[in-house]
Amino acid sequence: MKYTGWPDPGDLVVGRVDEIEDFGVFVDLLEYTDRRGLVHISEVASGWIKNIRDHVNTGETVVCKVLDVDESAQQIDLSVKDVNDHQRSEKIQEWKNEQKADKWMTLAFGEDVSDEQYGTVANELLSVFGTLYEGFEQAAIHGEDTLSETDLTDEEITTIVDTARENVSVPYVTVTGYVHLRSSNPNGVDDVRAALESAEGNGEVSDEVELGVTYVGSPEYRIKVRAPSYKVAEDELTETVERARAVIEERGGTADFHRERQTEAE
């Protein structure tokens, strides 16, 4: 997908060097339709430039900062030297991600998808998530609920989620904690078992979360949560402990949470 409009001053854009002249470099903007910019020789690199071709090559992919846009003159002024290494790396990765998302759109809606449908779906994802890639990634993690704010049809939402879950590699994080469950009641074993069943969520844990509660050594149990972000993982860890605590305390027992293991290694 390429944008049909114009970039704004201050934007970072990806381009390919098309022509090199003594006064500057012409760059085709790869994210835009029929847009070309000029990097004046003074914006190619810092300091005095003896030979501009020592700094850029024809066909090279570059990241530029947009200095000025004159739509009436069809002119875009660019700078290469104003982009630092970190910005360049992040922008290239973002561009590559959008290329992936463009392929996912084709997988989802077919090679013969109309420009109208493609544009409608893409604009909905862009308006809610900022990028197509983020839209697909969130769909892979959270499913259809994450697309509820869009005006996409149910069929389109299902298609995006199915495609995302087949193709998007979602980053996951893992957090771990430990809880001591104690009950002095004659049927204390049953109390602990009930607390553990509640901790495991009774089948109500979100599909995006992998939760495991395992025995470490009396009275300690390990809680391991795998989720798409630290916030989600930490929230689920807290909720797991509180589910166990509510049950064990209702039966007269106690639940003590800690980050590090406290029993001896088996």
Mean pLDDT of the chain: 91
122-171: pLDDT as tens digits: 999 999 999 999 999 988 877 888 898 899 999 999 999 999 988 988 77
Report pTM: 0.64
9-65: pLDDT as tens digits: 999 999 999 999 999 999 999 999 999 999 999 999 998 999 999 999 999 999 999
Binned at pLDDT 50, 70 and 90, residue 229 comes out as: confident
C-alpha 219/C-alpha 215 separation (Å) is 8
Specify whether the CB–CB gap between 101 and 114 falls below 8 A: no
Binned at pLDDT 50, 70 and 90, residue 204 comes out as: confident
Q: Which of 254, 232, 69, 12 is nearest to 138 (CA)?
A: 232
Amino acid (1-letter code) at residue 105: M
Cα dihedral angle (92, 40, 27, 100), rounded to 10 degrees? 10
Specify whether the CB–CB gap between 44 and 52 falls below 8 A: yes
Specify whether the CB–CB gap between 74 and 85 falls below 8 A: no
Q: Which of 181, 266, 162, 173 is nearest to 221 (CA)?
A: 181
What number is the average pLDDT over the span 192-213?
A: 86
Residue 21, phi then psi, degrees to nearest 5:
-120, 170
C-alpha 131/C-alpha 123 separation (Å) is 9
Q: Which residue has the higher pLDDT, 21 or 201?
A: 21
Q: Is the peptide bond before 228 cis (omega within 30 degrees of 0)?
A: no
With 0-12 CB in 10 A as exposed, 13-18 as middle and 19+ as buried, what is 81?
middle
pLDDT of residue 266: 43
252: CB partners within 8 A, 6+ apart: 183, 184, 185, 191
Residue 229, phi then psi, degrees to nearest 5:
-155, 160
The DSSP result for 116-153, as a single string, is HHHHHHHHHHHHHHSSHHHHHHHHHHHGGGGGTTS---
Q: What angle do CA 87, 89, 91 make, to 5 degrees?
A: 65
C-alpha 194/C-alpha 199 separation (Å) is 9
What number is the average pLDDT over the span 75-87?
A: 95
